[in-house]
Chain A
Amino acid sequence: MASITIEELRGLVKPDRVHRRVYTDPAIFALEMDRIFGRAWLYVAHESQLRNHGDFARARMGRHEVVVTRHPDGGLFALLNRCAHRGARFCMAPRGNSRSFTCPYHGWSYGPDGALEGVPYRQSYPASFRLEDPANHLARAPRVASYRGFVFASLAADGPSLREHLGSMTDAFDNLIDRAPAGEIELSDNSFQWEYRGNWKIHHENANDVFHPGFVHESSVSVAGNSPVASAAYDDGQTREMLRANGFSRREWENVELIGFDAGHSYMSGFYRAGIIAPHSDDPVRARYRAALAARCGEARAEEIILLDRFNNIIYPNLVVNAQFHQLRVVHPVAADRSIVAAHCFKLKGAPDEIFHRAVRFLNTISSPASMVFTDDVEIFARCQAGLADDADDWVDMARGLDTDRRDNDGRRTGHASELPNRSQFTAWLGYMTRAAA
């Protein structure tokens, strides 16, 4: 593969546009796997999956698959799911509990920190063979760190700490946890997995794109608008309101605030205004929930927590947290034109069961492969990818809002009616891609 120079990479990203190669070129994708997914902090697990010694959960880190483990000494490890002997995947369960991992091929067994603990028929290996030899241990991510239960790993030995990487985006995690009356959240055993024919970056660009809903989701907005309110008693009208909420006028979308950071993170302010999904909703379930939360932290604080109205906190490069609705999405790049999205939801400890049922309904409505919303997004992702494969025009525009965005002293960009999340993401992209090898 021809190497791509730093100058060439710089030439692909302009303040107002990017070259289509960043979405389509397999050589660029390979570099992204080395320099972004091979270096950045990647979300890999939630600690509620790893409470006990020996608990493990499988995850993906770019082109690698890892098993995240809880060691008896309490430490967390991300082990490459590849036996040090002949390379076989040794773990196939998505999660579970095991004090050791034994490769099914020749029986090499490893501890939860990846150390080789035993090999059968030891005498047949050369005299120089040592269990302690690091070459015989499972490869593992050099850095694993957790922010309040959200476990991240990095394949780079050096680089910014997780706290430095997250910056002020930690408030997205804080708000999600603060919403639990018992002060604790649990990743529920709910998930969907999607595959789409498009580049991984397209998902993130769309997650904070304020102008697409009126176009992309017009069909579900209109059917929800025509659906009688009274008939939607089954889920307290939640599905209908979620479909309708995308039907903002252009002017309303222009007022949605966007915040972006040079680390690639961004979020938008919320836009659900009616029904049980609105931040101010005071239906009986919400009233009980609010009371439970206020019992822990007081009325004023409970109000502040509930009314933090943010949508889709993108933690570059692989995570989207929708704290207000207890949702989480992980984006996994497979190839330049192929990605997998996994969607999950959380249970707030101490909240009424119905609050959890609403999070499940949210996951159903927005993230099921049968969703009346996300199916249209994914269709557009594939159409972008198909169009970008055509070299008729090399440049992809992201100029909207360029003249009106503001930059605060702490570096955050704020704006409305803007593609600033794209520009924040590509600022980070170029940083990772052009930084000298660690």
Chain B
Amino acid sequence: MSAAAAHVAPDLAREIEQFLYREARLLDTGRFEEWLELFAPDGVYWVPSRPGQTDPLAVASLFYEDRAILAMRVQRLLQHRAHVLAPIPRTTHLLGNIALMADDSASGEHGVECAFIMVEHREDRQRIYSGRCLHRLRRLDGAWRIALKRVELVDCDGVHSALTIPF
């Protein structure tokens, strides 16, 4: 990941922040299809199982999904027929410490990092997840799209119960 940008146009910073907030709102309000639309056609959602994991093929990940797999996951979230999703869990995604990375003008993509906390209420329990999110965003037809969302959970290699709503 490149160094934090020394100078980022305030408008651009605000625009990207608003994009991340919107993404979090879509997840918290169950608008999973609109969330999926935020991904570029070749976009990837990745939640490593190891701190510092670089290889998604030889090391298993909690999630490593392209649009086709993510689309199945989203349909499953929307149908509410999965036992673990009935009733559908409720979440709050809270983002902070948002930092834009230096512009990679060659690819036309922007890297942005943030810290997050997701509180999930499922059945009779509330769970807290936290970590860092790294987005690579790309301009596509005038809108930002996610080329890669990498979620680094602080407890990525811990003992888990079911992970349901995306981070």
Contacts and interface: CB of A to CB of B under 8 A. Distances in A.
A372 interface: yes
A290 to B, nearest CB: 21
Contacts, number: 116
A378 B83 CA distance: 9
Contact of B62 (A235, A240, A368): A368
A218 B80 CA distance: 11
Contacts of B72: 220, 223-224, 227, 239-240, 243, 372
Given A190-B59, A192-B62, A227-B71, 6 more contacts: A192-B49, A232-B69, A235-B69, A364-B64, A369-B162, A375-B163
Given A234-B69, A368-B63, A193 B160 contact: yes
Instruction: Name which of B79, B83, B158, B163 has the most chain A CB atoms within 10 A of its CB.
Output: B83
A269 to B, nearest CB: 26
B8 interface: no
B81 interface: yes
Contact of B161 (A188, A233, A369): A369
B101 interface: no
30 contacts: A190-B59, A190-B60, A192-B49, A192-B60, A194-B159, A219-B76, A219-B83, A223-B75, A227-B72, A227-B75, A234-B69, A235-B69, A239-B65, A243-B72, A345-B60, A353-B58, A357-B57, A360-B59, A363-B60, A364-B61, A364-B64, A367-B60, A368-B62, A368-B163, A370-B47, A370-B63, A372-B76, A372-B82, A375-B82, A378-B161
B161 A240 contact: no
Interface size class for chain B?
A: 20 to 34
A232 to B, nearest CB: 5
Contacts of B4: none
Contacts of A234: 66, 68-69
Contacts of B65: 239
A437 B84 CA distance: 42
A232 B61 CA distance: 18
Nearest 6 Cβ contacts at the A-B interface: A369-B160, A219-B82, A234-B66, A370-B163, A375-B162, A231-B68
A62 B84 CA distance: 28
A105 B69 CA distance: 50
B79 A219 contact: yes
B68 A240 contact: yes
A380 interface: yes
Interface size class for chain A?
A: 35 or more
Nearest to A216: B83
A195 interface: yes
Contacts of A239: 65, 69, 72
Given A222-B81, A233-B68, A189 B59 contact: yes
Contact of B67 (A193, A231, A363, A378): A231
Contacts of A272: none
A376 interface: yes
Contacts of A192: 49, 60, 62, 160
A240 to B, nearest CB: 7
A226 interface: yes
Contacts of B73: 223, 372
B84 A375 contact: yes
A369 B163 contact: yes
Contact of A195 (B47, B58, B161): B161
